Structure 1
Amino acid sequence: MSPLGTAYQPAGKLGIGQALLMLWLVALVLYPGQWTMPVTDRDEARYSQAATQMMETGDYIDIRFQEEPRYVKPAGIYWMQVVATQPFGGPEAPIGAYRLPSYLGVILTCLFTAMIGARMFGGAAGAIAGGILGFTMLAAADARMAKTDSMLMAAGTLSQLALFHILVQPKGAPPKEFRGWPLLFWFASGLAVLIKGPIITIMTVLTILFYVGVTRDWHALRRLRPLRGVVVFAAVGLTWVALISIQTNGEFLRESVGHALLGKVAEGDDDHGGWLLYHTSLLPVLFWPGTALLGLGLAAAWMRRKEPAMVFLIGWAFPFFILYEIVGTKLPHYVLPVYPAFALLCAVGLRDAGEILEGRLGKALHWLALALFALATIALPVAAYFGISDLGGEFFTPWVLGMCAAAILVLIVGLWTLRKPTFNGTAWTGLAAVVFYALFAGGAVPRFDEMWPSNRAWQIATRLEGCEDMRFVTAGYREPSNVFYFGTDTVLAETGAEAARFLIDNGRCGVAIVEEREMASFTAAMQGRPIRVLGQVRGTNVSKGRDMTLTLIVMGTSPLRLGEGEPRRL
């Protein structure tokens, strides 16, 4: 008997049919836009370019963006991107190939979440939990970004899957099942360190401390097999850290631990501060459309708070979330590793909805969640209107209007079916969300040209003829996406005068991409030398929130010209 007075009995396992249906729906939600959405600034472009340079140089230990060291994150995600791009041309692969680890990371997380949910609450609840997670706005967005967070979430959820089997023991003799959970826990924890440092370690330590503190099950610490586990953890997570520390004379540790980790605790780092209850206030939108079930999840957590499985789930969900509400630096994806726990809470709340809605607290929380769901859904087309207007785009296009109509469809179906929540009603809401994501990520966003000035300038450059080896310089627009598109040796000049000197020195095959604010400086530095304009791009520097015009310029004597044939690779 547990010290809480409630014995834990496993609810079941995830059926193959349930798993396949859930994974198919999640894959359907996450796929649109993976290959058609241009590279985004700034993190995705930096990660992808650094992986490209690994392939170009053959150095898979030292991480660099051009000549600048990137020691804020370990090498794990770069290695995954290198592997993912091999079937698609390696360093010449399109951005979609670099996104494959993130895409796979969310799908794996949904599977691991479903496995945990099946053991806790039954196969149907597990499958629903995996689906809820995959449909959330934050997970869907990160699945389309070539960076660390989705794979970090997958490694973290795998470690929590193993940790659950280690900590939460069924009544009586240990079951005859897989005995390698401690090894898997330490392996997944080490993998998470290799991807993004000790973030997941912090989460699992908080989970362990909470569970042991509440249940008084001190023997759980022994079941972790810490002596053997630390060896596995170090071999997986710290070998590369040791190699790069030796190679850089400790610079990696100073940068990654001193700046990227500790520097973010006390105050907002790199202008990434946030208001009080930052993550809580964003949750209704970022967890959408699962927002509608959050009230049931909170009610279920309270109602079953004395059950060991729920103690584990509460210890996973809330301490880490609260910690990041306190930490000075705030970005939306920081709390992504606890989203699987929120999805599991929603699933058990949905399963027990009949019982929950008999009480006043459960009913109040559910209707509050439905109200937040409605507000978040309405906010999507409103935000799209103002965002597109600010960026100088056209709102009244078929793709944008279709996206807004799909959001309203999600709202109608969600409110109609979840007033009296059931698994079937949740499935119908999810199918409506499939339509929304297809129109949003697969249609509206890739076609919103104003957001992608680097990509549009690159499309012009791919049609240039007359030189085999072109060199590019940008002035006034120094975003990392330029380097990903135009090549590692692209010069990101600060002024138009610098770009002019580059063009003079590379007169035959040089191309200058000059932002209008630097055009006067560029023209003055050219000192009357003849130039030709090959094209212009109007758009928005999303990172800085300002409109701009980019002009592609070559020397008047350059053989470069716009061709009429097929675009070529740069």
Structure 2
Amino acid sequence: MRRGPSVWYEFIGAEGFHQMKSPIAGGNGRAAPLYTQRGLRLPDRIVELFDLGCGSHRRACLFLVVLCLVALLPGFFSIPPVDRDGARFALISRHMVETGDLTETRLGWEAKRTRALGLHWFQAAVVKAADLVGVPDAHTRIWLYRLPSLAAAIGAVLLTYWAALAFIHRRAAVLAASLLASSVALGVGGRLAVPEVFLLGSVAAMMGALGRLYLAERRSGPAGNWDQSPHEARLALAFWAALAFGLFTKGLMTPLYLLLPLAALLAMDRSALFLRRARSYPGLGLLVLVAGGWFLLRRYAPPETQDEFVMRTLLGQVAGAYRGFTGLPGIYTLLFFALFWPAAPLAALAAPIVWKARRIGSVRFLLAWVVPAWLLFELLPTKVPAYVAPTLPAIAILIGVAVERGALALGNMRLTRVLWLWPLIGAVIAVAALLGMAVFDRTTSVLAWPLLLVGFFALVVAAGSVRDYGIEKSALVAIAGMLVSGFGVMQLVLPNIESFWMAPRVVAAAAREPCGAEAGDIEVGIAGFNEPSLALLLPDAPRFLDGAGAADFLKAGGGCRVVFVERRQEPRFARRAEAIGLRIQRGADLRGFDYNSLREVRLAPYRRG
């Protein structure tokens, strides 16, 4: 431990070193720093609001909850179901509500049930409750399936704040949690019906508890007689409970984010004594209960009934879950600047300082949280951006450590040019959104332009005034700029790019079909576009078919049926229709863009002639 403080002394100088506080600190907030009187008044108001939020733990939690809502609610209700994983998870949960089978996680012709059940149960409970209180068409409203993810995102931010208090004071902990709350990664996860935000919160809670136990062991000195205190027993229980919750909601990926840091700490410290403080028989029992219950439900669940089997298999071949992409090592590092924007430039600024301070216990633990997982995923050929998301709380806390110590302000100002990535990446996101609307729909959003310009101006001010404002104030201004421009993109631009959202247009076209009262509900078949969002939005499940199967489906229908045939399936559809003597009528084409396969889509509706 002797070499640790000298590292900070080297970077921030004598005056800054004597003014700093220990990184292994409690929860008392630090006094607000002094700011120059130059510049706009609005940044000062932003800092005053932040100061108010840092006044106590209760205010800090309230501030972070409000920040999460401001960041996540734009687009939460208006963005249609996103293919693939978000719509797939919601569709599975819808089937649970409709069938009452809480163990079936397959769609269509899938053979294996391997997904964790937690998210589906939460979603099914929300949808069932909404149906009971009278929400119309609750089964098809995607925002109901997103509510558990929104709650999990808020929980992940609050747990990051709690974890950060093991290493830094309250003010820096609020800053670290705010960086996570405003990040693109959390914004995407909190708006989708996916379990990644549950994993993020579980890892933050698990590592926050383990970090406190690790630092307590380092402070205790040489090994000797030791008894677990009541506080440590509660931390150990929280550690095991977080691991169990991660298994319940995400599955077998969760232990990986524990085993890799443990292996790194054991290799660096050559000691595992800190693990004795994590002993908790109730916590271990909870873990065994969750893991055993999952195994038993998977192996000995009630057999699928004939009606459930028919309902599932008639759906057909639903598009598979997102499996990532193939890339060379280094892809995650490039993606990091988009995933953790606007905090990513601060991480780049802090990286050399943090690495120099790696011998300090708190920094060592946080680096063990980040580096092994990051290196592993960089080396794997398949890249899934969500895999590195559980390391973001640790990166945010490391930024908080560097800001609190004054190392960024005094020791690394020569690298502040990297902060110009704030307006650069912000401009790329805004231009990409507006350009997509112009190219695909040949229109624009007049209301979004002022917000995007104001947000861009705030990012320019944050980057250009860092020497006057300081890192903390500039970061807060950048977060505010991100929130303003994010509202414009997520609420006013993205939901209104109709070409991206084929499923709602198909559902609307099916609803316009002229069916007589005696024909009953319309039956929909579709060939060449098998995205789960369509099955989620339709009142009754569609049939995902090929071109020939679509013709047979239309021929066999005695009631009101319509098929939507993608242009690549039209030759097979036409040949089969001619072979079976099917007379058909064609409606107006629906043109759009499939963002999963990056290709244009044209669906033609057909009905019997």
Q: TM-score, length-normalised on structure 2?
A: 0.80
**Alignment of 1:363 onto 2:413:** yes
For structure 2, the residue ranges without an aligned partner over 5 or more in a row are: 7-21, 29-55, 133-137, 221-225, 304-321
Aligned match for 1:327, one of 361, 380, 397 = 380
Q: Give the equivalent residue in structure 2 for 1:127.
A: 174
Alpha carbons 1:403, 1:444 under 8 Å: kept = no
**Alignment of 1:434 onto 2:449:** no
The code of the aligned residue for 1:62 comes to E
Aligned match for 2:248, one of 179, 194, 205 = 194
1:312-461 mapped onto 2 (5 Å cutoff): 312-353=365-406, 355-359=407-411, 362-368=412-418, 370-384=419-433, 387-388=436-437, 392-394=440-442, 396-398=444-446, 401-402=449-450, 404-419=452-467, 420-461=469-510
Distance 1:515 1:406, change over 3 A: farther
- Alpha-carbon deviations, 1:225-246, whole Å to 9, x = none? 1666443212123421232034
Tell me the percent identity: 24
Shift of 1:47: 1.0
- Alpha-carbon deviations, 1:507-559, whole Å to 9, x = none? 42212112233334334433464444455422112222222222233224xxx
Q: Give the equivalent residue in structure 1 for 2:41.
A: none
- Larger mean CA deviation between 447-456 and 498-507 belongs to 498-507
**Alignment of 1:550 onto 2:565:** no
Alpha carbons 2:160, 2:201 under 8 Å: kept = no
1:54-203 mapped onto 2 (5 Å cutoff): 54-69=96-111, 71-89=113-131, 92-169=139-216, 171=219, 177=231, 179-203=233-257
Shift of 1:221: 1.6
Distance 1:436 1:375, change over 3 A: closer
Shift of 1:349: 2.2
- Larger mean CA deviation between 301-310 and 101-110 belongs to 301-310
Aligned match for 1:522, one of 573, 582, 595 = 573
2:564 aligns to what SS in structure 1?
Answer: strand
Q: Give the equivalent residue in structure 2 for 1:286.
A: 339
Q: Give the equivalent residue in structure 2 for 1:567.
A: none
- Alpha-carbon deviations, 1:320-345, whole Å to 9, x = none? 11111112210211101011111111
- Alpha-carbon deviations, 1:86-143, whole Å to 9, x = none? 2333861400111112111111111011112233211111111111001111111111
Q: In 2, distance between residues paired with 1:133 and 1:40?
A: 22
| RMSD, matched Cα | 2.9
Q: Give the equivalent residue in structure 1 for 2:544.
A: 492
Alpha carbons 1:45, 1:481 under 8 Å: kept = yes
Alpha carbons 1:47, 1:146 under 8 Å: kept = yes
- Larger mean CA deviation between 50-59 and 444-453 belongs to 50-59
Q: In 1, distance between residues paired with 2:128 and 2:454?
A: 36
- Alpha-carbon deviations, 1:247-282, whole Å to 9, x = none? 599xxxxxxxxxxxxxxxxxxx95621122010011
Q: In 2, distance between residues paired with 1:208 and 1:378?
A: 40
Q: Give the equivalent residue in structure 2 for 1:475.
A: 527
The code of the aligned residue for 1:16 comes to R
Alpha carbons 2:430, 2:485 under 8 Å: kept = no
Q: In 2, distance between residues paired with 1:83 and 1:406?
A: 40
Shift of 1:399: 5.0
Shift of 1:486: 2.4
Aligned match for 2:291, one of 237, 254, 263 = 237
Distance 1:198 1:421, change over 3 A: farther
Alpha carbons 2:409, 2:471 under 8 Å: kept = no
Alpha carbons 2:240, 2:283 under 8 Å: kept = yes
Shift of 1:213: 3.7
1:101 aligns to what SS in structure 2?
Answer: helix
Aligned length: 531
Distance 1:375 1:432, change over 3 A: closer
Q: Give the equivalent residue in structure 2 for 1:273.
A: 326
Q: In 2, distance between residues paired with 1:285 and 1:194?
A: 29
1:66 aligns to what SS in structure 2?
Answer: coil
2:216 aligns to what SS in structure 1?
Answer: coil
2:496 aligns to what SS in structure 1?
Answer: coil
Distance 1:367 1:35, change over 3 A: same
Alpha carbons 1:406, 1:433 under 8 Å: kept = no
2:552 aligns to what SS in structure 1?
Answer: helix
Shift of 1:488: 6.0
**Alignment of 1:29 onto 2:37:** no
Alpha carbons 2:116, 2:248 under 8 Å: kept = yes
- Alpha-carbon deviations, 1:155-199, whole Å to 9, x = none? 111111221222221746987746311122112112212222232
The code of the aligned residue for 2:92 comes to A
Q: In 1, distance between residues paired with 2:481 and 2:494?
A: 19
Q: In 1, distance between residues paired with 2:372 and 2:482?
A: 30
2:600 aligns to what SS in structure 1?
Answer: strand
Which gives a bigger RCO, structure 1 or 2 (Cα 8 Å, sep 6+)? 2
Q: Give the equivalent residue in structure 2 for 1:563.
A: none
Distance 1:412 1:3, change over 3 A: closer
- Alpha-carbon deviations, 1:279-319, whole Å to 9, x = none? 00111121111123113432442354232222211111221
The code of the aligned residue for 1:12 comes to G
For structure 1, the residue ranges without an aligned partner over 5 or more in a row are: 250-268, 557-570
Q: In 1, distance between residues paired with 2:449 and 2:567?
A: 32
